[in-house]
Amino acid sequence: MSNSRFSRRGVLKTGFLASAGLALPTYLRAQEAGFTNAPGPSHVTLGFSVPLTGAYADEGADELRALQLAVEHLNGQGDGGMLNTFSSKALDGTGILGREVRYVSGDDQTKSDVARATAQSMIQKDGAIMITGGSSSGTAVAVQALCQEVGIVFMAGLTHANDTTGKDRKANGFRHFFNSYMSGAALAPILAAQYGKDRKAYHLTADYNWGYTTEEAIRSSTEAMGWETVNTVLTPLTQTDFSSYIAPVLNSGADILVLNHYGGNMVNSLTNAVQFGLRDAQANGKNFEIVVPLYSELMARGAGANIAGILGSQNWDWKLEDQLGAKYSGTNAFVQSFGAKYGFPPSQAAHTCYVQTLLYADAVTRAGSFAPCAVDEALADFEFDGMGNGPTLYRSADHQCFKDVLVVRGKENPENEFDLVEIVEVTPVEQVTYDPEHPQFAGGALGNCNNGA
Amino acid sequence: MDQIIVQVLNGLDKGSAYALIALGLTLIFGTLGVVNFAHGALFMLGSFCAVTFSRLLSFSHEVIDETRTDFLGNPLKVQVPYIQDWLGPDLAASIIQWSVPLSIVFAIPVMITIGLIIERGLIKHFYKRPHADQILVTFGLAIVLQEIIKYFFGANPIQTPAPPAFNGSLDFGIWLGFDPVTIMYPYWRMIYFFFSVVIIAGVFAFLQFTTFGMVVRAGMADRETVGLLGIDIDKRFTFMFGLAAAVAGIAGVMYAPIVAPNYHMGMDFLVLSFVVVVVGGMGSLPGAVAAGFLLGILESFASMPMIVQSFPGINQIIIYLVAIIILLTRPRGLMGRKGVMEE
């Protein structure tokens, strides 16, 4: 017979009461504040969900570096980076609304289900008030939907599909990065000028939402310029050897190959295309050309010499201010901070995540509240400058940023390992602006902002 | 017609990798009776032997170039390989550019050693355990090996180019009477195919024409009788594990310029290679090789745009579909022997 003074029922009762007691302050605080994960007086937690493995791991690692730098700057450490150039002066390096900024991070593995689970854990277990990061439109759409459901702000990282601020747009989600439509609108005139209007294009497209919208955007923009699309082929996201897809291209009647691939996919497909001699080939009496609608310095580094001469588009480049002047102020401040800390220049993925974190902190500070609906109001039609892209608008109709777009080309003779991309032209924002209900973005609605709790 | 020839070439190239991995798997299964799920990881380790050897050759010291600046405006730090100090810039550059084929010399002893360590240190304890235990332990080993590689080399693919002499493509069509630039095929992929044929022939010749190979074949047929003759067959089988690891390793080395090495590449090949082994017939070396090339060619044809557009997703399932059909019609695979993997 046991002499223990503890009974099963007693333990359960005590446990329940203790749990309820511990949870009460959080519940009351949330009720009082009226929104999910209302922070306490001392600190606020941000959630950084980035891919550290998989096809977009390079971008994810760079995003995390930039996000950590943003936290430092918000907390008054380091040289302040873009806080010194940002047109809004609400942030003063004392955290957000006087609370120290902390963060939790997780690997979304570039998988929508993992990204959703990672973000959910950050929200439920770690009390994250905002989620940012990510290098895939698939994960962005999944996490954005979750944040809308639970009443958390989602500041999208690198997501380029039209869907993110198109058919899948949500009131709690915001995108600073440009999109597929903008790539098409910026690239098509340059492609026509460089390669002529009588061209036949063959598209290889990553088989997920970003691939579809990018193919659609590039097709419609180039066809409007007079190009013909001879074939479009979907390739699995997990594909590493693209030889079976590349081999038929040369005899398809096409004289342009458009690789709607990103990250490791693009590095492998471009390498295969060069191995199969497409760069040196002629078709229809013209030099065969390859186009990569979206690429970055990180991908250029991965592709090595194969990237030379390839045209594409970018959201931002670390050389922007040096080459095109003070209109793009903030670029050098960010490059200086990032480069001094990590020893190399930041990628566009790093830039957009850093900017998004500062924009969130600024919106909260101007609104005087962490409530998602207050952030929504503060960011609605917010015009800002000094963040590296020139004058920028956060459009309230779809929560998409509008700014200049870069058309770039892989450098033929890079001077060093970081100087792999040259800026061909900056397409002004007016040329890439579209109606919120443009056919490529139709079918979605922001709905109402959700404070959760 | 030209498309068919191109896809046959592609299939032979893919099939080369499948056949080399499946050959090693079958050697291990045929000798030791172990279902080795870590074999794909050995292929991946071979690829990283090429990366490691290239990095060893490029091991550098830092020199400050005051005449140039880095992206922050500081004097540029230039990395100068030690080999350049010793052999001069031209010879050093040539050696570094040829690092992939040269790394075979590095990979063979490394992979044999790794194979022996794995067999002696882990797998020998599972000889008398059920196949399910063997699969679990070797699958676990594969995950451990890939996490070790991820820790040291990161998660991202590492470009490991072929020597410049093999860049570009051969105009294969001209030889067959087609117009110029109708059938282009990369030099390195053709080299990979011929290399794999040489390796496969070498392994078969070793087993067929050497005394060691004869004893191993006898042991595969009747282990107990060979043991009764006073031959230490276990020692020879251990060596065969090392040999299989070396075959997977050099297959990985030569594959590095085709697909940039990454820590996960072994898993990408493993499942397909097991299908190849099963389709070829468990324990049958010629079956593994034949099934490797057959399934490689089928996979290539299934990826042709006109096929994919007519049957979406067929490129992802063709191998498994064919495997089902073959196993329904020939339950022991193409060249399987009675009694192997049968209770």
**Residue at A411 is within a domain:** no
- Record: contact A345-B299, CB cut-off 8 A: no
A279 lies in the same domain as A303: yes
ipTM exceeding cut-off 0.85 for this assembly: no
**CA B164 to chain centroid:** 22
* Statement to judge: residues A50 and A173 lie in one domain: yes
Rounded CA separation B206/B203 (Å): 5
Compute the nearest-CA separation of B77 from chain A (Å).
10
If DSSP codes are grouped into helix, strand and coil, which group holds residue B329?
helix
Residue A452 counted as domain residue:
no
For residues B36 and A103, the model is more confident at: A103
Which amino acid is residue A255, in one-letter code? D
A105 located within any domain? yes
B44-83 residues touching A, CB cutoff 8 A: 68, 70-72, 76
In this prediction, residue A27 carries a pLDDT of 43
Q: What is the pLDDT of residue A12?
A: 59
Query: Please, which residues 133-162 of chain B have a Cβ atom closer than 8 Å to chain A?
Result: 150, 154-157, 159, 161
Residues A159 and A71 in one domain: yes
Given A270, A299, A314, the domain boundary residue is A314
Using CA atoms, how far residue A259 sits from A267, A442, A453, B12, in Å, is 10, 25, 44, 25
Contact list in B for residue A303 (CB cut-off 8 A) is 159
Nearest by CB: B157 against A238, A264, A416: A264
- A200-206, strands of its sheet edge to edge: A228-235, A200-206, A256-260, A289-294, A311-314, A405-410, A421-427
> Could you tell me if A161 and A60 lie in one domain?
yes
How many angstroms separate the CA of residue A239 from the nearest CA in chain B?
Answer: 9
Share of chain A above pLDDT 90, in %: 74
Q: Of A135, A257, A150, A130, which is closest to residue A208 (Cα–Cα)?
A: A135
Asked if residue A107 is part of any domain, the answer here is: yes
Residue of B186, B264, B300 with shortest CB distance to A276: B186
A302 with B184: Cβ contact below 8 A: no
pLDDT tens digits, one per residue of A223-281: 999 999 999 998 888 888 888 889 888 888 899 999 999 887 888 899 899 988 888 88
Task: Choose the weakest-confidence range: A22-26, A226-230, A298-302.
Answer: A22-26
Do A267 and B157 make contact, defined as CB atoms within 8 angstroms? yes
Q: Are A44 and A103 in contact (CB under 8 A)?
A: no
pLDDT of residue B179: 80
The predicted pLDDT at position A264 comes to 78
Last residue in a domain, options A364, A380, A398: A398
Q: Do A275 and B188 touch (CB under 8 A)?
A: yes
Which of A53, A238, A267 shows the shortest C-beta gap to B260? Answer: A267
The per-residue pLDDT for range B186-208, each reduced to its tens digit, is 999 999 999 999 999 999 999 88
Of B7, B155, B312, the CB nearest to A57: B155
Mutation for testing the A interface, residue in B51, B54, B60, B71 having most A CBs under 10 Å: B71
Q: Which of B153, B184, B309 to mutate to test the interface with A (most CBs of A within 10 A)?
A: B184
Answer whether residue A87 is part of any domain: yes
* CA A85/CA A385 separation, integer angstroms: 8
Query: What residues of A are in contact with residue B259 (Cβ under 8 Å)?
Result: 240-241, 268
- pLDDT tens digits, one per residue of B63-95: 998 888 888 888 888 889 999 999 999 999 999
Residue A340, pLDDT above cutoff 70 = yes
Please give the single-letter amino acid code of residue B341: M
Residue A406: closest CA among A334, A351, A337: A351
Give yes or no for a contact between A335 and A346, defined as CB atoms under 8 angstroms apart: yes
- Six-digit token pair at A440? 């490529």
A354 and A251, same structural domain? no
DSSP β-ladder status, A153-156 and A130-133? parallel
Same-domain pairing of A131 and A228: no
Size of interface A-B (CB pairs under 8 A): 111
Stated as kind and residue range, the H or E segment containing A43 is strand A43-50
Q: Which residues of chain A make contact with B2, given a CB cutoff of 8 A? A: 251
Q: Indicate the DSSP class of residue A135.
A: S
End-to-end CA distance of chain A: 48
Is B186 at the interface with chain A, CB within 8 A? yes
Residues A86 and A152 in one domain: yes
Partner A contacted by B97 (CB < 8 A): no
Q: What is the CATH number of the domain that holds A340?
A: 3.40.50.2300
Contact yes or no for A232/A264 (Cβ under 8 A): no
Of residues A43 and B147, more confidence is placed in A43
Cα–Cα distance measured from residue A12 to residue B57, given in angstroms and rounded to the nearest whole number:
65
Residue A445 lies in a domain: no
Residue A277: list chain B partners with CB under 8 A. Answer: 168-169, 181, 184, 186
How does A374-385 read in b/e, with b if 16+ C-beta sit within 10 Å? bbbbbbeebebb
Token pair belonging to A223: 């066809």
Amino acid in the structure at residue A12? L
Task: Evaluate whether residue A228 is within a structural domain.
Answer: yes
Statement to judge: residues A110 and A201 lie in one domain: no
Residue-range definition of the domain harbouring residue A112:
43-178+320-398
Q: What are phi and psi of A294, to 5 degrees?
A: -130, 120
- Position B259 pLDDT exceeds 90: no
A17 lies in some domain: no
The per-residue pLDDT for B34 is: 82
- Do A205 and A218 belong to one domain? yes
Residue of B nearest to A248 (CA): B3
Helix (H) or strand (E) holding A345, with range, is: none
Question: Per the CB < 8 Å rule, is A244 touching B315?
Answer: yes
DSSP class of residue A446 equals -
Q: How many domains does chain A fold into?
A: 2
Q: How far is residue B340's CA from residue A289's CA, in Å, rounded to a whole number?
A: 53
Q: Are A449 and A378 in contact (CB under 8 A)?
A: no
More confident position, B272 or A69: A69
Containing A330, the helix (H) or strand (E) segment is none
Q: From A398, A413, A431, give the residue that closes a domain.
A: A398
**Residues of B (214-273) whose Cβ lies below 8 Å from A:** 258-260, 262, 264-265, 268
Distance, CA of A325 to CA of A311 (rounded, Å): 22
Above 90 in pLDDT, residue B2?
no
CA B127 to chain A, closest CA, distance in angstroms equals: 35
Q: A293-323: b or e for each residue (b if 16 or more CB lie within 10 Å)?
A: bbbbbbbbbbbbebbbebbbbbbbbbbbbee
